[in-house]
A and B are shown apart, each in its own frame.
Chain A
Amino acid sequence: MTFIGLVVHNLTTRRFRTALTAVAVAISVTAVVTLDVVTRSLQSSAAAVLSLGHADFIVAQTAVADVLTSSVTQDQVSRIAATTGVKSAVGVLVSAIHLNATNPLFIQIGVDPRELPAFGVHVVAGHAYSVHASHQIMLGWEAAQNLHKHVGSTLKIGTITYDVVGIYTINQTFGDTAAMFPLVTLQANTRKPGTVTLAAVKVARGASVQAVENRIERDNPDLAAVRLATQFGRVDRNLEFLDAAQHGAEIIALIIGVIVVMNTMLLSFVERIREFGVLRAVGWSRARLLSLVMGEALVISLLGAAAGVGLSFAVTTALERFSSLRGVLAAQFSTSVFWTALYTAIAIGVLAALYPSARAAVLRPGVALRRE
C-alpha cells in the first residue's frame, strides 16, 4: 500500500462523509465559477461595442456609468477626424430597446449611410437606407434570421413601423444582431440630436495608434480612447462595479465554503482522534499525519472542483435561457475557468484542512489513545 493509496482508501471507506465534503466544495466552486463565467460573458457582451466598425479604437465619453449613455458631439467627431494620424472617424449612435420577450435588449445603431463603407458595412440584400429616411432600416443578417424578416418586410420598433430595405453584415455578432438606422433618424427617436455614442477611429498607415489616442485625449479631456476590453471600464463604470461585485461575491462564497468544509473536517477529526493517536504511537511523524489529512483534503478538493465545473455549466446553461439574459449572456467555458475551479477548490480544501490537520499533528498520542 502506498501513501496515496492510503489517502484514497481512507476516503473511499468514508464514502458518505467524503461525498458530503466534496459537495460543499463543489457548491462554492460552482458559485465562484458561475459568477466568473457570467461576469466575463456580460463584460464581453458589453465590450463587443469595441469591435464595431473594425476600428483601431473607439472614442467615447469618459467615466459614464454605461457606454450607451456616452455623449460625443458631432463637432467632436469632426475634430477627431481632423486629428493628425487619423484616417477616418465615424460617429455612431448606439442604443438598446426592448423589442419583445425573446429580444429584451435589441441593439439599434445609427450611422450616416455615406459612412457605411468606412464603418465596414456590406449590404448583402436590398440597398442602404437614405440619409433622411425616417421609416427605413437595415437589419443585420443574424437579426433578420432571428426575427424572420427579409427585404420588403416591416418591423415595428416601439410605436414606429419601419420598412426593411436592406440586410447587411459587419462580420461581427454585436453588429449583425442589430438594426441599423440613418443617424439623424435614430438621433430624433432617442432625442439626442447632434450627438453620437462613440466614434470608431481608424489610424492612418504608419501612424502610432498610441500616439493618436494620446493626442485625441489631450485635445478632448472629456473623452477616452479605448482599444482593449480591459480598458473598457474607462468608458463604462458599470463593468467596474460588476467586477467589484463579482470579486466580493467570490470572496463570500470562498469563506462560506471554507467554513462548511472545515466544519465537516472537524467532525471527522473528532471521530478519528483515536486513529491519529494509533498512527502517532506506531511512529508516524507530525508531518506525515499532516500530509495524510491534507492529502485527503486535496483529493476531496479535486472531486469538488470537477463536480463544481459540471454544476456551473448546468447553472449557466439554465441562466442563458432566462428571457432577460437572452442575447446578453453567452457563457464560454475557457481553460481559465477550469483553472479558476481548481484554484478555488484547492484554496477551500487547504484552508479548511489547516486547522483540523494542525490539531491532529499536535495531538499527544497518549491523550488521543485515551479518548473514547
Chain B
Amino acid sequence: MSVPPATAPPGTPTAEGRRSEPVVEAVDVEVAYGPVRALDGATLAVHDGEWVAVAGPSGSGKSTLLQLFAALDQPTAGEIRFRGEDLTRRRHLDHYRRNDIGLVFQLHNLLPHLDARRNVEIAMFGTHRTRSARRRDAEDLLSRVRLEEQADRKPPEMSGGERQRVAIARALANRPTVLLADEPTGSLDPESVANVVDVFRRLHRSEGLTIVMVTHDADVASAADRVVTLEKGRIAVPS
C-alpha cells in the first residue's frame, strides 16, 4: 500500500501566483449547545501536505472543530469544506469519512474484542477490497507503525502507545487525504508520546500526508508546520 506523495509543500503558490485551494476548510463556523457556544465564528484553512496543530485551553472548541472536519457533527452555522465542497450540504458523509479522512481519537477507540489487525481491517469494509487484500493491507499498515509483531494482540493486551499506533494504522486504512487527530498523545506517557509524534512526522515528511492535530501539549504542537490557537471558539493566533 502506498500513500500518494503531497502534490506541493504547504502553502505553495500556484502558477498563477495564488496559494493552492485548501483541502479542508472551516468558514465562519458556529456550534452552539443551547446557550453555550463551543465555536463562535472560527475560520481555518488547511492546505495539501500541511501539518497544522490546533492548540488552545480546555473548552476553547479544539475538539469540536476537529469533529466538524471529521463530519461527526454539523455546525450550527458556517461551512465545512472539503476541496471546496460544502460538507454541510451533503446528505451522505460515509464516503467522505471512509475515503477522504483518517481519524485518530485521544482514547484510541479501538474495538476491544478485535485484535490489532482486525481493528485496522474494520475500516476497510465497503472499499471493495478482497478479504486477503484487506488482511495484507492491514499487516502492511501495522508494520508502518512498527507493530507488525502485535497484529494478533487485542487492545487490552497492548500499551497505550501501541494502541494509539494501531489507531493511526486504522486511520490510514483507506489512504486518506487528511489525517485528523484529536489529542492523540493526551493519554500517553512521554516515551509513547515521542513514538506517536515520530509516526506523524514520518507520515508527513516521507508521504506528504496532510495532518490536522488538536493538542494542548506545546512540545507536540511544535512538531507541526503551523500552530493555530483557539480561544473562546475563535482562531486567536494564526501562525
Contacts and interface: CB of A to CB of B under 8 A. Distances in A.
Interface stretch (B6-14, B93-101, B197-205, B218-226): B93-101
A282 B131 contact: no
Contacts of B72: 281, 364-366, 369
B133 to A, nearest CB: 12
A1 B139 CA distance: 13
Contact of B134 (A1, A280, A288, A367): A1
Contact of A282 (B92, B114, B170): B170
A2 B105 CA distance: 25
Contacts of A249: none
B67 A366 contact: yes
Nearest to A14: B113
Interface in B45-72: 67, 70, 72
A251 B134 CA distance: 45
Of residues A9, A275, A281, which shows the largest number of chain B Cβ atoms within 10 Å of its Cβ?
A: A281
Contacts, number: 64
Of residues B70, B98, B125, which shows the largest number of chain A Cβ atoms within 10 Å of its Cβ?
A: B125
B73 interface: yes
A279 interface: yes
A339 interface: no
B111 A282 contact: no
Contacts of B134: 1
B143 interface: no
A275 B111 contact: yes
A93 B125 CA distance: 72
Interface string A103-114: 000000000000
B97 A283 contact: yes
Interface in B117-131: 118, 121-123, 125-126, 131
Contacts of A285: 92, 94, 126
A16 to B, nearest CB: 13
Contacts of A281: 70, 72, 97, 103, 109
Contacts of A10: 113
A355 interface: no
A6 interface: yes
Given A1-B131, A282-B170, A285-B92, A369 B105 contact: yes
B174 interface: yes
A284 interface: yes
A13 interface: yes
B97 A280 contact: yes
B102 to A, nearest CB: 9
Contact of A1 (B70, B73, B121): B121
Contact of B118 (A1, A275, A367): A1
Interface in A263-283: 274-275, 278-283
Of residues A279, A283, A286, A364, which shows the largest number of chain B Cβ atoms within 10 Å of its Cβ?
A: A283
B51 to A, nearest CB: 22
Nearest to A368: B72
Contacts of A282: 97-98, 103, 122-123, 170, 173
18 contacts: A1-B122, A1-B131, A1-B135, A2-B131, A3-B125, A10-B113, A275-B111, A279-B122, A280-B97, A281-B109, A282-B98, A282-B123, A283-B94, A284-B94, A365-B72, A366-B67, A369-B105, A369-B109
Interface of A: 1-3, 6, 9-10, 13, 274-275, 278-286, 288, 364-367, 369
The list of the 3 closest CB pairs from A to B, nearest first, reads A283-B98, A366-B72, A366-B73
